[in-house]
Amino acid sequence: MVIDPLNPLMVQSDRTLLLDVHVPKAEAARAAIIPFAELEKSPEHIHTYRITPLSLWNAASAGFAPQDIIAVLKAYTRYEVPPGIGAGFFHIMARYGKIRLIPPPADTEPFPVLPEELLLISDDPAALMEIEAANGLAKYVHKTPQGFALHLRDRGTIKWELIKLGWPVKDEAPFVPGEPLDIRLRDISAGGIPFTPRPYQREAAQAVLGNQGPGTGYGVVVLPCGSGKTVVGIILMSWLKTHTLILTPHSAAVHQWIGELLDKTELTQEQIAEYTGEVKAVAPVTVATYQILTWRPHKTGDFPHFRLFRERSWGLIIYDEVQLLPAPVFRITAELQAVRRLGLTATLVREDGAEDAVFSLVGPKRYDVPWKDLALKGWIAQALCTEIRLDLPKSLKIPYAVASSREKYRIASENPLKARIVQYLVDIHGEDHILVIGQYLDQLTSLAKLLNAPLITGKTPQRERETLYDAFRKSQFRLMVVSKVANYAIDLPDASMAIQVSGSFGSRQEEAQRLGRILRPKGRRSAGSPSQGFNAYFYTLVSRNTVEERFAVNRQQFLVEQGYNYVIQDWAG
């Protein structure tokens, strides 16, 4: 039954929400449902959101009740809300907060809890019995009349184990304040142009900070590549004013963070340190790589650089590209639950499906905005996505037919006819700054020679990489060939076109990061204001009638779901 044909939302019994973006109330509806629904697809006309247990727990952690969600759905629905859907919300959301983690009361006689312990409590006897029966928890907890006691260091591990059982823990234990540090955004008194964050960057930081009480000051922000996720971290640092540890995917990202901090805050060089394979210094603000933290002399040894987490009284830890968080860092993060935490990412998709671990150990998703929304407002580039399909040469058709599955993918990816298309695209885009991106080193080496362009791979020394990146930023050349080392956290603001010649099978995460290399705002704009009227071009070359075509469908699906028009062209030349 139609309730209001002008309402934008269609609520379905499988907990999917369809949003008609052409209705006047669409923007208000989108803002209302984001706290409790995950965006799955955002093509031209109808956007699809899904309500999941994790999205409902995210909502519960932000203070939403089931009746709040039902009220939003009824306010914006075009048709009747399916009967019984709300009962499912009540059941799922009731699990959040049913088990609580608290500091021990002052008086726990006659069964005292030690100062280095916390209490796991619940008013639900069944929940307590499930904790007692769970084999994975037995070595971490011991029973008390109040519930269960656990050591402070096991705080995160317990939360991780319980969410696997469908129990998201409400963590009410306090945060440590960290050692104070006066971090200020650069203003007019510092000389030059004062730094003005964009409105959505402030909104994201505020969503994480909450009211600065227990249970706030931690969580994940999801923003498109090129939208300035780093600035969200810097804003939060300026508000918390405490010693901060920043973890990044690689050394280039470390140096970019340091450059951004020096450019946008009044921090001095002496207050910021690099902790990487090349330099191991510690300062009030320290920027490190995941790689150095997870290095160990042999497979069964300890991780010697984990001492960095304990060398200072950190009040904030920032996880850049949190979707890449390696398992050893998850484990040390489990010990650091008393420190405020911020995760930054363009996509929470993890190939290992460990999104619930990010929820438990770093925090719930606090802020998300569709890529297309920021593009339409001029904050990131409008991307034109094209897949060009070409045949395998006759000489490779029989080798391809008899090859193993993995070899089939490589033969298709390294199709030598792709070189002609790359040369053609470079020639017709004479004004663009172009990245040629691929997976296989032989292919990339050949293309770099053909194009007379610099090549960056995992074998390129870090200092040389940064010299080349800097030269590209300064327009000393407009074409560069890069391997997957450039997928993450490389700031090349003038890059306006990418040609993807090969990739990691059907990785949606990689597609997001590669597209992100060309989405940085371009053109003239004032601080804190959007750019106007600029495009980026994203080409993918795919061998027709091969396994590469099948994997490309998965990557293509990600772009379509983000709202990008995706054109397929056949190459006959």
DSSP 8-class letter at 185: B
Residues 6+ apart with CB under 8 A from 92: 53, 56, 57
Same domain? 148 vs 194: no
Judge whether 181 lies within some domain.
Answer: no
Same domain? 349 vs 228: yes
| E runs forming strands in 475-533 | 479-482, 497-500
Same domain? 531 vs 414: yes
| E runs forming strands in 67-179 | 99-102, 117-122, 141-144, 147-151, 170-171
The pLDDT score that the predictor gives to residue 334 is 72
Judge whether 183 lies within some domain.
Answer: no
CB-based burial, 434-445: b 16+ in 10 Å, e otherwise: bbbbbbeeebbe
| Last residue within a domain, chosen from 36, 69, 95 | 95
How far CA 353 is from CA of 155, 320, 350, 357, 568, in Å, comes to 22, 18, 5, 9, 30
| Last residue within a domain, chosen from 95, 115, 143 | 95
Same domain? 385 vs 481: yes
For every one of its 573 residues, what pLDDT tens digit does the chain have, with 9 covering 90 and above?
A: 778 889 999 999 999 999 998 999 998 998 899 889 988 777 778 888 999 888 898 888 878 999 999 999 999 999 999 988 888 899 899 888 899 888 877 655 544 556 678 888 998 888 888 888 888 888 888 888 888 888 877 888 888 888 888 888 888 877 888 999 999 998 865 556 788 899 999 999 998 887 654 446 888 998 887 788 999 999 999 999 999 999 998 888 898 899 999 999 999 999 999 999 888 999 999 999 888 888 888 777 777 888 888 778 899 999 998 887 777 787 788 777 778 999 998 877 665 666 777 887 888 888 888 777 787 788 887 778 888 999 999 999 999 999 998 899 899 999 999 999 999 999 999 888 999 999 899 999 999 999 999 999 988 888 898 899 889 888 899 999 998 877 665 667 678 888 999 877 545 666 666 776 676 655 533 345 554 446 788 898 999 999 888 877 776 776 666 667 678 899 876
SS3 for 526-544, per residue? Answer: CCCCCCCCCEEEEEEEEEC
DSSP 8-class letter at 82: P
Same domain? 534 vs 388: yes
Same domain? 444 vs 541: yes
Interatomic CA distance for residues 547 and 521, integer angstroms: 35
Judge whether 3 lies within some domain.
Answer: no
Judge whether 516 lies within some domain.
Answer: yes
Same domain? 210 vs 149: no
Return the closest-CA partner of residue 265 out of 234, 308, 305: 234
Return the closest-CA partner of residue 359 out of 252, 222, 489: 222
What is the SS3 assignment for 497? strand
The pLDDT score that the predictor gives to residue 214 is 44
Token digits of residue 193: 């142009």
Same domain? 264 vs 310: yes
Interatomic CA distance for residues 186 and 190, integer angstroms: 6
Q: Which amino acid is at 335?
A: E
Interatomic CA distance for residues 494 and 496, integer angstroms: 6
Same domain? 565 vs 416: yes
Same domain? 352 vs 469: no
Beta-bridge partner residues of 537: 384, 497
Residue 386's CATH number: 3.40.50.300
Range of the domain at 79: 9-95
Given CA atoms 220, 226, 227, 229 in this order, what sign does their dihedral have?
Answer: positive
Same domain? 163 vs 55: no
Judge whether 176 lies within some domain.
Answer: no
Judge whether 4 lies within some domain.
Answer: no
How far CA 345 is from CA of 193, 348, 424, in Å, comes to 28, 6, 34
Same domain? 387 vs 422: yes
Interatomic CA distance for residues 479 and 472, integer angstroms: 8
| Last residue within a domain, chosen from 36, 65, 95 | 95
Q: Work out how many domains the chain is built from and give that number.
A: 4
Q: What is the pTM of this model?
A: 0.77
